[in-house]
Structure 1
Amino acid sequence: MVSEHSAAQILVASNRGPISYTVRDDGTLDSRRGGGGLVSGLSAIGSEADALWVCSALGDGDREAVRRGVGEPGVLMLDIDAGIHHDAYNGIANSVLWFINHMLYQTPLEPVFDLEFRRQWGAYEQYNRAFAQALADRAGEGAAVLVQDYHLALVPGMLRALRPDLKIGHFSHTPWAPVDYFRLLPDDISRQLLRGLLGADRTCFLTRRWADAFAQCCTELLGAESLKGTDIGVHGLGADADFLRERAHRPDVEERLSDLRQQIGPDGTDRKTIVRVDRTELSKNIVRGLLAYRELLSTRSEWRERVVHVAFAYPSRQDLAVYRDYTAEVQRVADAINAEFGTEGWSPVVLHVKDDFARSLAAYRLADVALVNPIRDGMNLVAKEIPVVSEAGCALVLSREAGAHEELGEDAITVNPYDVTATAEALHEALTMPVAERSRRSARLAAAATALPPQRWFLDQLNALREQR
């Protein structure tokens, strides 16, 4: 990897980087390396490549690391003013762009695009400009730059103006809103966002559905000619089967597996499991999933004491009040189900809210049924990961609004995420699916889920960008 001051030939830009820092009590810095598709993908190019990852300092530990000059080769962490980052990240990216693309607004009351929004939008522009400038300064002649996600939607256009020689790609990890919903944004802002992304040589999405929605927004808001300079690509990120299967059998997972089995029921208890693993994003639809499970127990009394809903809901974005309220509602509904139906030897819901990857993998292994019912999701890798790891094969209850449905829908039980009654019936269908059919479907789900693992997903984008004329 290159040093942060060398000219790089491959650059990745994202809000969150591959490493984070915390300040220990003694004042020293502790570093932690992250995971995910980008980290796995970038490893595919090898440590000898002239590559640089540009990211933001996200907390006090990161900012202190930048000030002390602490870092690692191949990573450039930008210490952007904390107030600007807060307004860009929480005020615009997570409270506006996320809500638009996931269609989450309660429109009688929101959104409100007023002077405060305009002030925060100015911070979003500054945040994107800082990334564009850093990339322009560090990129070698004709380098390939892969910009990630809605936090940096303006970067391609800004970078194009600074460095027209570069090959620029942008990847959206979220859905893209249909044009009528996208038009909730102020007219000038919607056009600015589209032009920002059209500054890329290639702008890419997880599914054809999201790519088509983006193209329609461009056509209707900017005109058909606007698309002529940009290719639109689709790259459906898949699960990393080798990593998941190896990681799922390490000692810490075995320990969590034993604990979970005890929580599900004493030794010898033959109970089926419905597993979900999510962050408490508003889009993940956890509350309706719990309500569907409650309705299953209400209308199908034969499942009482014979099934356990293993629900992991890891808190997300707790600095935003609406997310704190949603997390509390998840806990409240789970407690209410246990109070209504639970017996001395059976807790209908086993809920965990502390993030624990090893415990998630243990739950994957135990899953008879996987419940993935988002309101709207760019892909949803959990839907792909559980069939890969499930020991007995699992039935997948999957929202038609998850990007993963494009690849997995044929072998899943499809649900409308708003229809609690139909979801309860789908859970019953999944629980009663014959073992042989469940095994066949699970094998096909696992094969589809791993068709484009992270390393190939990244290389496909990089190669397509480099080969573009």
Structure 2
Amino acid sequence: MVAEHVQSAPIVVASNRGPVSYRLGADGSLLAGRGGGGLVSGLSAIGHESGAVWVCAALGEGDREASRRAEESGRRLDPADTGGHAVRMLDIPAETFAAAYNGIANSVLWFVHHLLYQTPLEPAFDSAFRTQWAAYEAYNTAFADAIAEEAAEGACVLVQDYHLTLVPGLLRARRPDLRIGHFSHTPWAPPDYYRLLPDDVAEQVLRGILGGDRAGFLTRRWADAFAACCESVLGAEVLREGPGAPAVRFEGRTTRLGVHGLGADAEFLRERAHQPDVEQRMAALRQQIGPDRKVIVRVDRTELSKNIVRGLRAYRRLLEDHPEWHGRVVHVAFAYPSRQDLAVYRAYTAEVERVAGEINEAFGKPGWQPVALHVKDDFARSLAAYRLADVALVNPIRDGMNLVAKEVPVVSDHGCALVLSREAGAAAELGEDALLVNPYDIEATSRALDEALRLDRTDREARTKRLAAAATALPPARWFTDQLTALQRGQERTG
């Protein structure tokens, strides 16, 4: 039951990561840090007066201690720590969280939707997988229980991403009065690949999402893939009416599918990109790059799907095929370590560093280092690189959207050509003015880099303006409120 002094919420947002994180001070005090990203901006758009509450998981010991203290004093975190948001942070047992988050969400569901498995060797779903799957079920159940406690009668609930695919169905069983939506920030696998999952698990994930009234996706392509999986795996009926995304009818219920292509926050980016710390990073980068050189920029975490190694190999091919670029171009590559608690990600990060080093050893000469690789996360430096870029390379194997592709044109100082993977969700919106590439084709990517470097300034600037307009068409605040409005009205925003 909800404590008497805690008001039930008419709007609930649920996500693995929340808008605040804590660390323990040496004296036992809790030090709060503000969260970031589009979801935080989106929730801010509805205002504190809406009575919304955010349910998230404790990610570390500081978070767990904050959660325990909050449970003793009314269950929600101190609004002074959360930017005024009402936040309930769940202290899920660390072993359960690790198995659900690393074992299933990031090592199974992420791999399936990004088509990352080396199928001669993996996956192999054994007893260890079943133990981890039980943890994933427990983790999703903890969220469903908490949301059921927090939500007011008839409330709207917006569940986020592949970490919480079972929540809509679990919540429907507990609170049939609620309006429930789920949003997938990743791609969705086509049926043949999706069916790598054990049959019961494949069915359980789909049934979980279909427990909601709406299922949202970043592009029509991912929505159609989800519908096809429902049809193939469950035998569900796919309702295709008009130009919008389809709906799925299964066991007497209809779940509407919606498309909401998250855009860049232009106002924030442009203001932040001209702060003093960014200007300082620009000066340092200019010194590292050297005078009068073209700049190819990439900014990624070292996630396997980002395809950084093939991007570096394409750049090497450019230097091999076009010696006229020697000394005249620098590839500024930001590869920020990600998920380093997983061995496969540590190995990938090491491979990125190895290939970058090989390029510098093969082609570098006094006064010119062809690759400037940075592995320490620095948002101000990323923005500085955005402003300096002549070419942005965004070549993921597969990506739900990819905000870097949208952010670079927004803050570019003098126009930037975009070399973009056709497998990024952003290609659906930016493809007309980007140079699209097959992310597996190193030769074609090399040719696209050469073409991008040779674009005349007028063409490049015109493309950049059109790219920026498309990139900001649905900023985070509107992205969020559009979904909420559609859920409240029981209608679908098509896209």
The answer to whether the superposition gives a TM-score over 0.5 is yes
Aligned counterpart in structure 2 of residue 127 of structure 1, from 139, 160, 169: 139
Query: Are positions 1:53 and 2:78 aligned together?
Result: no
Supply the AA of the counterpart residue of 1:129: T
The gaps in structure 2 that reach 5 residues or longer are: 71-75, 80-85, 239-247
Partner of 1:63: 64
Q: Distance in 1 between matches of 2:211 and 2:145?
A: 15
| Equivalent residues of 1:204, 1:234 under 8 A apart | yes
Query: Are positions 1:107 and 2:111 aligned together?
Result: no
Q: Distance in 1 between matches of 2:4 and 2:49?
A: 12
Aligned counterpart in structure 1 of residue 218 of structure 2, from 194, 206, 220: 206
Partner of 2:83: none
Supply the AA of the counterpart residue of 1:291: R
Partner of 1:335: 357
Q: Distance in 2 between matches of 1:182 and 1:3?
A: 45
Supply the AA of the counterpart residue of 1:359: R
| Equivalent residues of 1:4, 1:138 under 8 A apart | no
Aligned counterpart in structure 2 of residue 163 of structure 1, from 175, 181, 191: 175
Identity %: 72
Supply the AA of the counterpart residue of 1:356: D
Secondary structure class of the residue paired with 2:13:
strand
Q: Within 5 Å, which residues of 2 pair with 1:316-465? A: 316-465=338-487
Partner of 1:467: 489
Q: Within 5 Å, which residues of 2 pair with 1:274-289? A: 274-289=296-311
| Equivalent residues of 1:145, 1:166 under 8 A apart | yes
State the TM-score, normalized to the length of structure 2.
0.93
| Equivalent residues of 1:253, 1:358 under 8 A apart | yes
Aligned counterpart in structure 1 of residue 270 of structure 2, from 223, 245, 251: 245
Alpha carbons of structure 1 residues 90 and 3: separation in structure 2 relative to 1, 3 Å: farther
Q: Distance in 2 between matches of 1:115 and 1:101?
A: 22
Q: Distance in 2 between matches of 1:462 and 1:361?
A: 31
Partner of 2:197: 185
Supply the AA of the counterpart residue of 2:32: S
| Equivalent residues of 1:370, 1:397 under 8 A apart | yes
- After superposition, what is the alpha-carbon deviation per residue over 1:270-313, rounded to whole angstroms, capped at 9, x for unaligned? 00000000000000000000000011011100000000000000
Supply the AA of the counterpart residue of 2:443: T
Supply the AA of the counterpart residue of 1:163: R
Supply the AA of the counterpart residue of 2:44: S
Aligned-pair CA distance for 1:4: 8.9
- After superposition, what is the alpha-carbon deviation per residue over 1:202-248, rounded to whole angstroms, capped at 9, x for unaligned? 00000000000000000111123372210000000000000000000
- After superposition, what is the alpha-carbon deviation per residue over 1:409-460, rounded to whole angstroms, capped at 9, x for unaligned? 0000010000001101000000001111111111000000000000000000
Q: Distance in 2 between matches of 1:4 and 1:162?
A: 23
Q: Distance in 2 between matches of 1:106 and 1:395?
A: 33
- After superposition, what is the alpha-carbon deviation per residue over 1:49-90, rounded to whole angstroms, capped at 9, x for unaligned? 110000000011101112233823300000000000000000
Aligned counterpart in structure 1 of residue 283 of structure 2, from 258, 263, 266: 258
- After superposition, what is the alpha-carbon deviation per residue over 1:301-341, rounded to whole angstroms, capped at 9, x for unaligned? 00000000000000000000000000000011111111111
Supply the AA of the counterpart residue of 1:418: Y
Supply the AA of the counterpart residue of 2:137: E
State the TM-score, normalized to the length of structure 1.
0.98
Aligned length: 465
Alpha carbons of structure 1 residues 301 and 4: separation in structure 2 relative to 1, 3 Å: farther
Q: Distance in 1 between matches of 2:358 and 2:41?
A: 40
Supply the AA of the counterpart residue of 2:78: E
Q: Distance in 2 between matches of 1:402 and 1:382?
A: 11
Supply the AA of the counterpart residue of 2:154: G
Secondary structure class of the residue paired with 2:49:
coil
Q: Distance in 2 between matches of 1:216 and 1:67?
A: 43
Aligned counterpart in structure 2 of residue 116 of structure 1, from 109, 124, 128: 128
Supply the AA of the counterpart residue of 1:72: D
| Equivalent residues of 1:204, 1:233 under 8 A apart | yes
Aligned-pair CA distance for 1:384: 0.2
Q: Within 5 Å, which residues of 2 pair with 1:54-93? A: 54-69=55-70, 71-73=77-79, 74-93=86-105
Supply the AA of the counterpart residue of 1:65: A
Partner of 1:43: 44
After superposing on structure 2, the runs of 4+ consecutive aligned residues of structure 1 that deviate more than 6 Å are: none
Aligned-pair CA distance for 1:372: 0.1
Aligned-pair CA distance for 1:344: 1.3
Secondary structure class of the residue paired with 2:281:
helix
Aligned-pair CA distance for 1:25: 2.5
Q: Distance in 1 between matches of 2:474 and 2:458?
A: 27
Supply the AA of the counterpart residue of 2:122: E
Aligned counterpart in structure 2 of residue 307 of structure 1, from 323, 329, 345: 329
Secondary structure class of the residue paired with 2:366:
coil
Q: Within 5 Å, which residues of 2 pair with 1:210-249? A: 210-225=222-237, 227-228=248-249, 229-249=254-274
| Equivalent residues of 1:4, 1:75 under 8 A apart | no
Aligned counterpart in structure 2 of residue 174 of structure 1, from 178, 186, 189: 186
| Equivalent residues of 1:4, 1:76 under 8 A apart | no
Secondary structure class of the residue paired with 2:481:
helix
Supply the AA of the counterpart residue of 1:33: R
Aligned-pair CA distance for 1:35: 1.0
Supply the AA of the counterpart residue of 2:214: R
Cα RMSD after superposing both structures: 1.2
Q: Distance in 1 between matches of 2:434 and 2:424?
A: 12
